[in-house]
Structures are given as structure tokens and as C-alpha cells.
């Protein structure tokens, strides 16, 4: 488990953090804070630099698009979804559990 300040998560982008020795991508989708595997299931490349727009996450390498509601793929490049991790927000602190 890791706790990070909410201010560390950009409102319109994503950041990579380390949780228990594992790299995790964190982002915001409206008021929701999400944490997921930091690799794209399309080709196992890092999602560092991914864009967040209108409820979707866009891979910076090939443009694969994923729903931030449930992780499902929204592009024909892959059928594999993103893997999410449990997140709890308490005030200005975000707790991520693997």
C-alpha cells in the first residue's frame, strides 16, 4: 500500500509512482482518482506520458485508447483491458493498494 498527496496527480494527465516496488500509473477522471498497471496491454510499453481526455486514456506509443470507467479497450489494437488497483481518497491523501 502507498499513500501519496492528491496534488501529485495531475488533473488532466497521468503520473507514474512506485507502490511496493511496482510502477503504477495514477490519473484523474473527473473527480475520480484511478491507479492501474503502467504498461499498455497492447505491446507492454510504458504508459508514461499517456493523455487523459473525456474519460479515456490514450497510450503515448500507438494511440491505443482505454475507458477510464472500467479499463476496457476502445480501439481495435487490443482486446485486453487495463488492470486497475483499489484507490481510496481521504481529504488530500490518496491510498493505493496492490
Give the up-direction half-sphere exposure of residue 83: CA atoms within 13 A in the CB hemisphere. Answer: 11
- The residues facing 33 across adjacent strands are 28
Q: Sorting pLDDT into bands at 50, 70 and 90, what band is 27?
A: very high
Q: Please, what are the domains in the chain?
A: 2-96 (2.102.10.10)
Query: What distance in Å separates the CA atoms of residue 65 and residue 42, rounded to the nearest whole number?
Result: 10
Per-residue pLDDT band at 30 (split at 50, 70, 90): confident
Contact 28, 37 (CB under 8 A): no
- pLDDT tens profile 70-97: 999 999 999 999 999 999 999 999 999 9
Cell digits for 59? 497510450
Rg of the chain's alpha carbons, rounded to an integer?
12
Amino acid at each position: 500500500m502507498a499513500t501519496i498527496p492528491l496534488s501529485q496527480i495531475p488533473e488532466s494527465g497521468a503520473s507514474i509512482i512506485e507502490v511496493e516496488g511496482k510502477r503504477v500509473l495514477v490519473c484523474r477522471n473527473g473527480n475520480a482518482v484511478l491507479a492501474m498497471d503502467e504498461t499498455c496491454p497492447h505491446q507492454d510499453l510504458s504508459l508514461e506520458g499517456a493523455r487523459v481526455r473525456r474519460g479515456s486514456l490514450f497510450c503515448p506509443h500507438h494511440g491505443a485508447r482505454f475507458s477510464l470507467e472500467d479499463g476496457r479497450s476502445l480501439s481495435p489494437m487490443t482486446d485486453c483491458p487495463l488492470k486497475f488497483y483499489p484507490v481510496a481518497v481521504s481529504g488530500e491523501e490518496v491510498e493505493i493498494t496492490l
